[in-house]
Amino acid sequence: MKAVSHLAESRAPSGTFDVMRLREDFPILKLKIHGKPLVYLDNGATSQKPQAVIDALNRYYSLENSNIHRGVHCLSEQATTAYEAARGKIREFINAGLDKQIIFVRGTTEAINLVAQCYGRSFLKAGDEIIVSAMEHHSNIVPWQILCEQTGAKLRVIPINHDGELVMEEFRRLLNDRTKFVSITHVSNALGTIVPVKEIVALSHERGVRVMLDGAQAVPHLRVDVQDLGCDFYAFSGHKLFGPTGVGVLYGRGELLEKMPPYQGGGDMISLVTFEKTHYNVLPYKFEAGTPHIAGGIGLGSGIDYLLTLNWQQLAAHEHKLLSYATAALSSIDGLRIIGTAKEKAGVLSFVLDHVHAHDVGTILDQEGVAVRAGHHCAMPVMQRFGVPATTRASFALYNTVEEIDVLVRAIHRVRKVFG
Count of C-beta atoms within a 10 Å radius of residue 305:
17
Query: Cα–Cα distance between 93 and 8 in angstroms, integer?
Result: 9
Chain segment 223-257, per-residue pLDDT in tens = 999 999 999 999 999 999 999 999 999 999 999 99
Residue 15 banded pLDDT, cuts 50, 70, 90? low
Residue 16 banded pLDDT, cuts 50, 70, 90? confident
Residue 9 banded pLDDT, cuts 50, 70, 90? very low
Please name the amino acid found at residue 378: C
Distances (CA, A) of 400 to 54, 312, 370: 20, 15, 12
CB neighbour class for 255 (10 Å; exposed up to 12, middle 13-18, buried from 19): exposed
pLDDT at 70: 83
Range of lowest pLDDT (12-26, 57-71, 266-280, 338-352): 12-26
36-45 average pLDDT score? 98
pLDDT of residue 346 exceeding 80, the answer is yes
Please name the amino acid found at residue 56: A
Out of 74, 118, 231, 378, which one is annotated catalytic? 378
**In this structure, are residues 242 and 220 in contact, taking their beta carbons and an 8 Å threshold?**
yes
| DSSP state string for 212-266 | EEE-TTTTTTS---HHHHT-SEEEEEGGGGTS-TT-EEEEE-HHHHHHSPPSS-S
Sign of CA dihedral 348, 354, 357, 359: negative
Mean pLDDT of the chain: 95
Residue 8 banded pLDDT, cuts 50, 70, 90? very low
pLDDT at 265: 96
276-296 average pLDDT score? 96
Chain segment 100-144, per-residue pLDDT in tens = 999 999 999 999 999 999 999 999 999 999 999 999 999 999 999
The domains located in the chain, with CATH, are 6-48+311-418 (3.90.1150.10), 54-307 (3.40.640.10)
**In this structure, are residues 375 and 358 in contact, taking their beta carbons and an 8 Å threshold?**
yes
pLDDT of residue 5 exceeding 90, the answer is no
164-191 average pLDDT score? 98
pLDDT of residue 2 exceeding 90, the answer is no
Strands (E), 61-178: 102-105, 129-133, 154-158
148 annotated active-site: no
Residue 1 banded pLDDT, cuts 50, 70, 90? very low
317-332 average pLDDT score? 97
pLDDT of residue 14 exceeding 70, the answer is no
pLDDT at 141: 98
Q: Give the predicted TM-score (pTM) of the model.
A: 0.95
Chain segment 403-419, per-residue pLDDT in tens = 999 999 999 999 999 99
Chain segment 207-216, per-residue pLDDT in tens = 999 999 999 9
